[in-house]
Amino acid sequence: MTLQLALRHRFAGFALDVDVTAPPGVTVLFGPSGSGKTTLINAVAGLLRPDAGRIAVADWVLLDTKARYCLPRHKRRIGYVFQEGRLFPHLTVRQNLLYGRWFAPRNVTPEPLDRVVEMLGIGALLERRPAALSGGEKSRVAIGRALLSAPRLILADEPLAALDEARKAEILPYFERLRDEISVPILYVSHASVEVARLATTVIALQGGRVAAIGPPERVLGDASAVGAREVASLLRARVVAHHDDGLSELATAAGALHLPRVAGAPGTVIRVRIAASDVILSRAAPVGLSALNILQGTIAEIQPGRGPAARVVLAVGAERLIARVTLRAVAALSLQPGQTCYAILKSVAVAPEDVGR
């Protein structure tokens, strides 16, 4: 189900002007605060009426200002996971979860309660009230509540932003399961490139109310104009080979073996690993006597000078791209040229557990 987002909206001192179509899967709206992410998602939910535009999920039109059509929010069949949860304080967890089902059309079958409860691990909480839940538990209940309303589209507005790192690591896998197990498109707002790397099928990078880039995450995350030079990263597809006794996991990529701190997933699982461009060191010769465990071989595809003293060197490794952020001085000293074979060095510990996802 494709998602069409065409909107124009003007606030005091801010204008949103977007016209994109996203393919099925998880579409992440990515950008700094103030870039218009929340405005856009609220327009989709019907919490805000834009000046002009058209919003449609496949052929289900939610808004078309040209045809003077605006579906009221309670008829949009959208499961909105809010940043602060917004659980109803006077209802139990079970009543919160079933709230949306009450209003769902008779002819649709929502997810069974048991399955959602099991998937989110909230079986023990059903009779509690939101006041008695921890932050992570509230988030999971909020996800379940949105899911159980039989939505045609799930919206999530920075659902992890209010959580600490440990809770984020707890909730992210649930969104991955949502993406992999339920065939409802998801529009996910985030300003964290880690979440983009792990969840996105498509990324829409927003800047100042405009679309800076749209595409698959490995392309948008590597685009400095979309994410900012410091945030540039590569996404490598890797297969888990083995978990070793010293706490490292061995992964196979198109460019060679990667050894990372223990990742989740049985041997054979394919995962994606986010590698920040500034964590990568380049070498012309095969390096020896290094403490770094990961040495990947590739061919220089492109050298992109930045605005400052740094440049991005893009290596082609198999069908994928690995980006290194190095100084222009280093590019000159090594006389790096497109077409050369080059070695990328990556410290294992530079990749944090949250950089790795399915």
Instruction: Give the footprint of another protein on this chain (CB under 8 A).
Output: 45-47, 72-80, 82, 84, 86, 88-92, 99-100, 102-104, 129-132, 145-146, 149, 155
Residue 76 or 274 having the CB closest to another protein? 76
Q: How far is the CB of 22 from another protein (least distance, A)?
A: 20
Which is closer to another protein, CB of 104 or CB of 264?
104
Beta-carbon-side half-sphere exposure of residue 150 (alpha carbons within 13 Å)? 15
What's the closest the beta carbon of residue 105 comes to another protein, in angstroms? 9
In the complex with another protein, which residue's Cβ is closer, 141 or 214? 141
Q: Is 42 helix (H, G, I), strand (E, B) or coil?
A: helix
Q: Are strands 186-190 and 294-305 parallel, antiparallel or unpaired?
A: unpaired
Query: Nearest CA to 43 among 59, 66, 65?
Result: 65
Q: How far is the CB of 85 from another protein (least distance, A)?
A: 9
Token pair of 263 as six digits: 């990742």
Q: Give me the sign of the Cα torsion angle 323, 326, 331, 334.
A: negative
Query: Residue 105 or residue 308: which is nearer to another protein going by CB?
Result: 105
**89 or 339, CB closer to another protein?**
89
Our CA angle for 31, 82, 228, nearest 5°, is 10
Q: Which residues, 6+ apart, have CB-to-CB distance to 67 below 8 Å?
A: none
Please provide the DSSP assignment of 62-74 as one string: EEETTTTEE--GG
- Taking the least distance from each CB to another protein, the nearer of 185 and 217 is 185
In the complex with another protein, the residue whose CB is nearer, 17 or 84, is: 84
Q: How far is the CB of 208 from another protein (least distance, A)?
A: 26
Terminal CA-to-CA distance of the chain, rounded, Å?
Answer: 22
- Nearest Cα to 252, choosing from 177, 347, 318, 179? 318
Bridge partners of residue 249, in order along the sequence: 243, 260
> Please, what is the minimum distance in Å from the beta carbon of residue 217 to another protein?
27
Identity at 182, one-letter amino acid code: I
Residue with tokens 């649709």, as numbered in its chain = 108
Q: Report CA torsion sign: 194, 197, 200, 203.
A: positive
Quote the tokens at residue 77: 């069949």
Question: Least distance from C-beta 284 to another protein, angstroms?
Answer: 56
The CA-atom distances, in angstroms, between 241 and each of 58, 260, 262, 271 are: 39, 11, 12, 11
Q: How far is the CB of 97 from another protein (least distance, A)?
A: 11
Min dist CB 50 to another protein, Å, is: 16
Q: How far is the CB of 159 from another protein (least distance, A)?
A: 13
Q: How far apart are CA 234 and CA 219, in angstroms?
A: 8
Nearer to another protein, 47 or 61 (CB): 47
Of residues 91 and 254, the one with the C-beta less far from another protein: 91
